[in-house]
Structures are given as structure tokens and as C-alpha cells.
Structure 1
């Protein structure tokens, strides 16, 4: 599997210096863990509160910024089969929300960002935590396993 990554950093923060190679490694690890075989491409935008708020209101009807929004590709299976590289979709990550949540959860900013990147990638691949408790448990379990491969602790454990 080969990953093509488009990265747009409209918002940057000193507390969270993001490297393209690191983001690519996290997404590739996530995709390989769920046994993605085909070459694929993903778009990731790091945005501010205003952009996240606007998109969250428009697409989810929620009147606030959110940590990560996932926009899976809507390509029909027939089209996906003829493309050399399958577009899995786009992620929009709100850096100020991620930083605020990291502080509230007593986590390092990169730790929480990495979790949101894994979480969003799983959403792009069809995993969901809002439809049932069973689906939520499956998704959380995958996140824990992937983050462990990347050297991070279980993000769902209570922090002191």
C-alpha cells in the first residue's frame, strides 16, 4: 500500500509542530492495521476555530468547532476499481480545539493530535462510534491498537 498525502496547514501553533512525514506515518499505520491493500490518497487540512465551526454547522448541524471532521470519498466501487490510487477522503482537524482538549485531558498536544488523526482516518474507512455501542467499542479498540503501534498509551484511560 502506498499513500499519497495532501496537507494544508491553514493554522499552525507553536505547541504543535507538525511534520508531513509524521502525519503520513500515522495514516499509513492506521490503514495497514485495518488491512488496507490498495494505494490511496487522503487530504488533510489543519484549520482554525472559525473554519471548523463553519464546516461543522454546514455538514453536521452542530453550531461549534470540533476536533476532527471526516469527509469520506463518495466514489462508486466501479470507479474505485479503475483508479490507480483510491481517494479515501479528507480530514479537517481544528488545531485550537485539539490543543484545548489536550490541556483539559492532561495530554501532550502531539499525543492528542495523533489520536484525532487515527480517529478521523478510521471514520474515512467506514468506522463509526455514533451508531451503536458495539460499533463504538470496535472503533475504540482499533484506535487503542493503532496508537500502541505508534508508541502511545490508551487514550481512553483517565489522566491525572
Structure 2
């Protein structure tokens, strides 16, 4: 099956990404697929991912977010972003890195509580989720420092303030 045409020549972008965005909630006020693609490509570039990449992003409500978090992580509440790395059979080479789920009401609530622009929080969570799909984690303190530093650099290139500043200054 041929790959869909990109809006500009693939040779001119450092990390071509095919990003499938599905909205399970009304789209009014939510980022566009083009915004998600920009944020994904920024994360791929920041993580020095040099090859074509494909992933999907599903925007959900609190009920679906809670069900997925409960079923896959054993935590009975809606969380902001879930990342599911692709589990491909050995030897199968595809650009697919996985799927992300972002819970719209949690993003809105967190942005308001943290005094952040909602769009900036969407960008941060998209970058955060992509880094998880690439194998970054924040369970151990050392891993968290590496991942958060990378997120700050990527977001700064997008013109977005340090999302962890309030936690450090707090």
C-alpha cells in the first residue's frame, strides 16, 4: 500500500511523521491534526530520531481515559496521556512506534490548575507521550531528569516555557 503524500517533500523535513489523529470528543477548541504533527516532529527531532515514523493519537473523554488507565495501568482515574509502544513481531520492520491517548478534560483541568496556556499543555503532553513511545521514562530519578531536560529543550524550540518550572520553584 503506498504511503499517503506529505504536504511537502519528505526530503526537506528531518523526521517525517505520519500522525493519525482521532477525536472521540467534539473537536471545538482542541488542537488540529497539523498541530499534533508539528509537536510530534519536534519531539522526534529533539530525540534525534532520523527515520520515518508513524503513530496514532486518540483524543478521549474522562470516561474512556479512566477505563484505559484502569485496564492498562491498574489506576482507576483518567490520566492526561497514555502511551502504548508498538509491539511488532520480530523481523517486521515498520515505521510504527505506537499509539497515544490524550484525555481532553484532564488536559484542560491541569492547564487551569497549573496556570498554563492550554495549547502549551497539549504540546507538552504530546512531546511527553512521543518520548515514552521512543523508550524514555521517568520512573527512576535519573531517567526523569534526562526525559524532562529533553522535553524542556524541545518545548523551548517551539517557543513554550519550561513546564516543570513551577514544580522546581514551588
Contact 1:46 1:94 in 2 (8 A): yes
Q: What SS does the aligned partner of 1:36 have?
A: coil
C-alpha separation between the residues in 1 aligned to 2:137 and 2:124? Answer: 15
Residue 36 of structure 2 is aligned to residue 23 of structure 1:
yes
Residue segments in structure 1 that go unaligned for 5+ positions in a row: none
Runs of 4+ deviating beyond 6 Å: none
Residue 110 of structure 1 is matched in structure 2 by 119
C-alpha separation between the residues in 1 aligned to 2:27 and 2:117? Answer: 13
Q: What SS does the aligned partner of 1:93 have?
A: strand
Instruction: Pick which of 62-71 and 31-40 moved more.
Output: 31-40
Residue segments in structure 2 that go unaligned for 5+ positions in a row: 1-14
Aligned length: 154
Instruction: Pick which of 16-25 and 43-52 moved more.
Output: 16-25
What's the TM-score, normalizing by structure 2?
0.86
What's the TM-score, normalizing by structure 1?
0.91
Contact 1:12 1:95 in 2 (8 A): no
C-alpha separation between the residues in 2 aligned to 1:65 and 1:114? Answer: 19
Q: What SS does the aligned partner of 1:138 have?
A: helix
C-alpha separation between the residues in 2 aligned to 1:8 and 1:126? Answer: 23
Contact 1:115 1:147 in 2 (8 A): yes
**Structure showing greater relative contact order (alpha-carbon pairs closer than 8 Å, 6 or more residues apart):** 1
TM-superposed CA distance for 1:147, in Å, is 0.2
Contact 1:27 1:121 in 2 (8 A): yes
Residue 6 of structure 1 is matched in structure 2 by 20
